[in-house]
Amino acid sequence: MKILLTGFEPFGESLFNPSQLLVNAYSPPALAEITISKQILPVDHDQAPKVLMTALQDHQPDAVLSFGLALGRAKISLEKVAINFKDYRIPDNTGITLQDQPIVVDGPAAYFSTLPIRDFLTKLNEADIPAEISLTAGSYLCNQVFYSMMHHIAIKDLPMRAGFVHLPALPKQAAQSAKPVPSMSLEQDLQGLQIMIDALMEPAIGQNLPAYP
């Protein structure tokens, strides 16, 4: 199985992004029957979707796990829905703020994750990793990338599963914040990522993943 992992560079007042550190730090166990590709996305309203689409074309994965930071959330958030809406609460790293705009003009209102997030949730909680299914990925670049990815897969009829996962802040981010901020360690993020990948590799799930010719 070929799996693409994506994360984001730091943005706003954060000097770190747990999604970037997670993707860069992950390496599959020895003898694992998977090929891992990685892509760090810019926090750029124009370039982030383009970089992701290029990665999909270059790597042709069977599954995509995209990650981002949700400052203030206390659990790993398995996103269920991407909406066709851009409304930035802060500028992106190019200084652009977008408000009340569709991601794809005349595109569907929403797409659902095609990852087995209910199974992810069960296995994460069994491992005592705080996790939840979220019904909003917000309206910033995380949602924009999530929606753009699902739209691209749909219109191209690509044989892959994909979805988005939000991560809590890192402890060092919480320590630097003037306000109380929930956090999760990189080690626990890595444990959670491995659990999700293992779930994708299970025969009952993996055998239903279409492969590229």
Helices 117-126 + 186-201 axis angle, to 10: 130
Closest CA to 96 of 143, 141, 136: 141
| Choice among 45, 59, 151, 166 that is catalytic | 166
| Choice among 45, 59, 79, 151 that is catalytic | 79
Paired residues of 101 in beta bridges? 86
HSE-up of residue 44 (Cα within 13 Å, Cβ side): 11
Rg of the chain taking only CA atoms, in angstroms: 16
User: Angle at CA 112, nearest 5°, toward 108 and 118?
Assistant: 170
Q: How far apart are CA 29 and CA 15, in angstroms?
A: 29
Q: Which two tokens mark 193?
A: 């990522």
| Choice among 45, 59, 142, 151 that is catalytic | 142
33 is catalytic: no
79 is catalytic: yes
Q: How far apart are CA 34 and CA 37, in angstroms?
A: 10
* 32 neighbors 11 (Cβ within 8 angstroms): no
Helix then strand then coil, % of the chain, to nearest 5? 35, 20, 45
- Catalytic positions, written as ranges: 79, 142, 166
